[in-house]
Chains A and B, each alone.
Chain A
């Protein structure tokens, strides 16, 4: 460990380090196995029969694909899946629209008090969701002119139990405004200036010149937002009452809480449905995830 690297020692380094390297690979591999095993176990269970899961074992005797079909029939997993997809897409579109415009304005346009506004978003980025849980429910319940509410927000349920309520309040997180701003800031001002000389308006510059240049950032934001929306649980639990609107995570939780009898193979089939899309998304967009995390963590 504390070998002083004299020239002679340096020459002998590769062979000296070897056992350490091997140990490193062993430790990392064991770690990686610990990370992946629960998912493998999930998949294997999804193929088993109820008899097989009565006692501990690894492999199913056959691949019972029909478990997946039967799981879909036991609980409306396909509806849940569609709802999750709808929420993820809606929330991502909303976030992209709101956060890129705001990020661009903060980065590039001469707004009085721009610095203060930037700090405002940075402070909000630190507000955890659990803090605003209770009042957020009340606000969403009193959105005027929705869900039977009058103009003052009384009398009805507002955005409760609606797509609006599922999508809008949790979209457009200040984090993404900040992230978008970080990317716009790094673009050269001359580009906008040149477009201005050519007679392009401010919105045109934002939309046609600058935004296409931060495509990687847009993908990063989209990927993070899709993940957050797909994995959300507490908010849908609070505001939905019908299966028509419930996302997959909520459906899964309800299914797993059925005290009568948990059908483990079906539950694991449903869980696979809930996890695999995000794992696939991550594997394909790994670079974006990693860069995005690093950007937020290190610049922020």
Chain B
């Protein structure tokens, strides 16, 4: 990191500084640098790095807030694979991710392409699509809880317009999880649209125009110029979506509490209950480690897909 000194030296080559002077200068700058960096380093070490290590260690113990605890090796992991609640949570979370991520990415990209067509009212549309994202998930969940109300909610009111019978939505095991997915997709569009829109605006005009001159149709221009150009951004959106969908909790907590039965139980909810209601911290930590592995697997698959796409 010597750029700080190189550039001024180039700008004023005649200025002669003794090497001793410049060394004390570097040293005083470095000292200031460490002082400025110290709070962030301390904070991240205490509240991120140590917890990440701790979760790995805790997962091998039966710690439960008490004074006595013991190592249990991989016992927690073995138990987890016989725990029906955990398996249901894992399955629902994976299902939620597999459904929500591609649909929300596809809709967001389509809307972003639409917004990128030099349309009028861009500000209005952008605001409309982004509002659900800036709204707290708890508030969003509360609103949708009322929308899905079987008695006089908006969802059934809407169905009745077309003469359909009312649905029980969150109370029906068959529709509970899909109903949550709809809200998840709805709320997550805004961020993705804005990132896609910025990426689309960054695609070189020259490239598109030269493709047009070469006789490429609209679809060909999209497939051969735009799509490859937004590849890295796609990957970024994918990773944040994976992490985001695995984080789903607020929505489920407010709307279904994991029910009916355990039809909408998700991983973070299971971890939360194991840790803070049943006080099984070691067990909950093992669950967290498995979640980390599943997230890593998802990201790995995403990476493979991106590579395969880039090689086409």
Contacts and interface: CB of A to CB of B under 8 A. Distances in A.
Contacts of A32: 124-125, 128-129
A131 B55 contact: yes
Nearest to A170: B47
A54 B157 CA distance: 12
Interface in A136-184: 136-139, 168-169, 171-172, 174, 177
Contact of A136 (B47, B139, B237, B271): B47
A233 B136 CA distance: 9
Given A133-B272, A286-B123, A105 B160 contact: no
A127 B49 CA distance: 9
Interface residues of A, number: 108
A287 to B, nearest CB: 10
B249 A234 contact: yes
Interface stretch (B97-105, B171-179, B214-222, B303-311): B214-222
B154 to A, nearest CB: 5
Given A98-B43, A102-B37, A105-B37, A137 B275 contact: yes
A258 interface: no
A212 interface: no
A137 B285 CA distance: 12
Contact of B111 (A28, A36, A126): A28
B194 A105 contact: no
A57 to B, nearest CB: 8
A294 B130 CA distance: 14
A172 B51 contact: no
Contacts of B7: 188-190
Interface string A111-138: 1101101001100101111111111111
B78 interface: no
Interface string A1-39: 111110000000000000001001101100110111111
B81 to A, nearest CB: 19
Nearest to B242: A128
B2 A138 contact: no
Interface in A268-290: 268, 271, 274-275, 278-279, 281-283, 286, 289-290
B5 A174 contact: no
A86 interface: no
B271 A249 contact: no
- State the main secondary structure of chain B at its contact with A: helix
A74 interface: no
A82 interface: no
A105 B131 contact: no
A192 to B, nearest CB: 7
B54 A138 contact: yes
B295 A128 contact: yes
A227 interface: yes
Contact of A282 (B46, B134, B140): B134
A35 B2 contact: no
Contacts, number: 317
Interface residues of B, number: 109
B127 A134 contact: no
- State the main secondary structure of chain A at its contact with B: helix
Contact of B143 (A34, A39, A105, A133): A39
Interface string A35-65: 1111101100100000001111100000000
A28 B119 contact: yes
Given A286-B126, A293-B195, A135 B217 contact: no
Contacts of A41: 143, 146-147, 154
A217 interface: no
Given A253-B253, A278-B136, A289-B130, A38 B51 contact: no
A291 B160 CA distance: 42
B263 to A, nearest CB: 18
A268 to B, nearest CB: 7
A57 B292 CA distance: 45
Interface in B227-241: 233, 236-237, 239
Interface of A: 1-5, 21, 24-25, 27-28, 31-32, 34-39, 41-42, 45, 53-57, 97-99, 101-102, 104-106, 108-112, 114-115, 117, 120-121, 124, 126-139, 168-169, 171-172, 174, 177, 188-190, 192-193, 196, 201-203, 206, 227, 230-231, 233-234, 237-238, 248-250, 252-253, 256-257, 264, 267-268, 271, 274-275, 278-279, 281-283, 286, 289-290, 293-294, 297-298, 300
10 contacts: A27-B114, A32-B125, A35-B131, A35-B186, A98-B43, A110-B2, A126-B239, A138-B54, A268-B146, A289-B194
